[in-house]
Amino acid sequence: MSDFLQSVIAYRFEIGAVILFGIGFINLLLQKNLIKKIISFNVMDSSIFLFLASQGFIEGRIAPIITGANDASLYINPIPTGLVLTGIVVSVSVSAFFLALVQRLYKKYGTVNFDEIIMLAKKEAE
């Protein structure tokens, strides 16, 4: 049991990222409200960023601002940080695009409930 507890403590960030991913995913599937769907999409996004950044972290090392000796054993891995940095800005533009789509859907159907939109669209097609 203490073995398990120790690995939970060791892998705390990864476990947190996986749980957040699960929360985001299940809400993405089950929520009817489109705004809630977008928020859960954002939660999934940031959980993946958390996982990536935790893979680049190395215990006892500092951020890669090379002020002293350029010795690789002093700094953390800069690659995940760079990937996540661009990812955060792209995720905000993606969610802006989603929100614009939601605004158009609301203008057309007068609701943000997914089921109602589907029903109204089916009715319109008939």
Site residues (CB under 8 A) for another protein, limited to 15-54? 15-16, 18-27, 29-31, 33, 35-36, 38-40, 42-43, 46, 49-50, 53-54
Which contiguous run of DSSP H or E holds residue 90?
Answer: helix 78-109
Answer for which of 1, 70, 125, 126 binds another protein (CB under 8 A) is 70
In whole angstroms, the minimum distance from the beta carbon of 68 to another protein comes to: 11
| Cα–Cα distance for residue pair 14/51, rounded to 1 Å | 6
CB of 102 to another protein, least distance (A): 6
- Considering the complex, what minimum distance in angstroms separates the CB of residue 1 from another protein? 14
63 or 126: CB nearest another protein: 63
Count of beta carbons in the 10 Å neighbourhood of residue 47? 20
CB atoms within 10 A of CB 26: 11
Q: What is the DSSP letter of 74?
A: G
Both tokens of residue 113?
Answer: 């409930």
Contact with another protein (CB under 8 A): which of 2, 95, 125, 126?
Answer: 95
Q: Is residue 61 within the footprint of another protein (CB under 8 A)?
A: yes
Token pair in block for residue 101: 């789509």
